[in-house]
Amino acid sequence: MRIVIQRVSHASVTIEGQVKSSIGKGYLILQGIEEGDTEEDIEWLVKKVKGLRIFDDENHVMNKSIMDVNGDIIVVSQFTLMASYKKGNRPSWIKAAKHEISIPLYNHFVKRLSEEIGKPVGTGEFGADMKVELLNDGPVTICMDTKNKE
């Protein structure tokens, strides 16, 4: 499972001209799920996301977590994070999990994040053509992969 966390001043997801989710200060998280991902991957990521200290403290040092700043989160499913580009120039999506695996895991990730931060987590819509807007604050962007825990 891969996620891209972007620290944002604001973000939103629009589907067919209607805003599905919007937040102020917080995280926009893009999530890619591959075959073989499990709830253990989710638990590891939830713990990391909740504790990640990438918000500035009073000394302008990244020392505060999403919890410390009472930030919000939107999670957007993005199978293209699982792109394989080793051969040729057209990416392959063979590593991306099928819907019957990815939808329940996506929903579980959103649910667990919501439980951990104590508030609703915004979402996109699985498989929809989404317009994602954000103002990356910093910019700060962190990539996490449960198969490569750096």
Give the whole-angstrom CA distance, residue 14 versus residue 112.
23
Main-chain phi, psi angles of 45, to 5 degrees = -65, -45
6, 31, 55, 78: the active-site residue: 78
Residues 6+ apart with CB under 8 A from 133: 11, 12, 14
Q: Is 109 annotated as catalytic? A: no
How far CA 75 is from CA of 9, 60, 84, 94, 116, in Å, comes to: 15, 26, 22, 22, 14
The one catalytic residue in 6, 79, 123, 146 is 79
64 strand-pairing partners: 55
Q: Specify the amino acid at residue 114.
A: S
User: Is 78 designated active site?
Assistant: yes
Is 79 labeled as catalytic in the residue annotation?
Answer: yes
Active site residues: 78-80
